[in-house]
Amino acid sequence: MDKEIAVWDPVTGKLKWRLGGIPELGVINKLQWFSGINCVLAVCIINEQFILSFLDHRVKKVILDNVPFTLAYMIADAVADETRINIYLIDGFMNLGFLDCRQLPFQEGIQWMSENSFVLGDDFSRPESIHCHEGQLFAHMRSNASAFSSDDWVLAKVQLLPCIATWASFHVGSTNCVLSRVQVPPQLQD
């Protein structure tokens, strides 16, 4: 089935543009406006590869759709930073990397910023998404959230709940983090 992406202007209340017929995007994990290059960043999984695609609304087509990373990297998610210069990536071990968007196409590859040697206990501690807000990076796992800070991107883990519930989604904005959770049935609790 073909994908369709639309951009709505909240000021005018009208649809600015619509891009359809793009089956090459595969499973879209995240869409984010990327003002640094005036495109929509699509984080996708296609044929077991992690793909970054850029959708250009001016020409209404996918551009630079060949930025694949094999799943051997165990990339969990990607996000554009607020300065719109880099795309940050997080792997399954809570290590952070980035791609410098000033050098398109990405010739340098992933530049890893941190090696946290995070030991995965189970699926509850695997990162599901990464978020960037005002220079701070946050990672969302099912049972907790983590923040990365300082120039060295040190991992500062914050436990939110014991494993009696899982966090379904995590969003950062303004001065708050918004979380929604799913309660684990009593028969599955320890």
Do 25 and 3 meet the contact criterion of CB atoms below 8 Å apart? yes
- 90 and 81 in contact (C-beta within 8 Å)? no
pTM: 0.66
Same domain membership, residue 106 and residue 46: no
Asked if 32 and 111 sit in the same domain, the reply is: no
Q: Give the closest residue to 97 by CA, choosing from 110, 116, 81, 80.
A: 110
How far is the CA of 27 from the CAs of 2, 126, 165, in angstroms? 11, 20, 27
- Same-domain pairing of 95 and 165: yes
25 and 65 within one domain: yes
Provide the residue range defining the domain that includes 79. 74-190
- The count of structural domains within the chain is 2
Same domain assignment for residues 117 and 153: yes
CB distance 55 to 30 below 8 Å = no
* Residues in contact with 111: Cβ distance below 8 Å, sequence separation at least 6, in sequence order: 97, 98, 99, 100
Spatial distance between the Cα atoms of 130 and 139, rounded to a whole number of angstroms: 4
Q: With the CA atoms of 84, 154, 175 and 163 taken in that order, what torsion angle do they form, in degrees rounded to the nearest 10?
A: 120
Q: What is the pLDDT along the chain (190 residues), one digit of tens a residue?
A: 456 777 777 788 888 777 666 666 677 778 888 776 777 888 877 777 777 777 776 776 666 555 555 544 577 788 887 665 788 888 777 777 777 777 666 656 677 766 654 545 555 456 777 877 776 777 777 666 777 766 666 666 665 555 545 555 555 655 555 444 444 445 544 4
Q: Does residue 99 sit in the same domain as residue 175?
A: yes
| Distance from the Cα of residue 183 to its chain's centroid | 24
Stated as kind and residue range, the H or E segment containing 49 is: strand 49-56
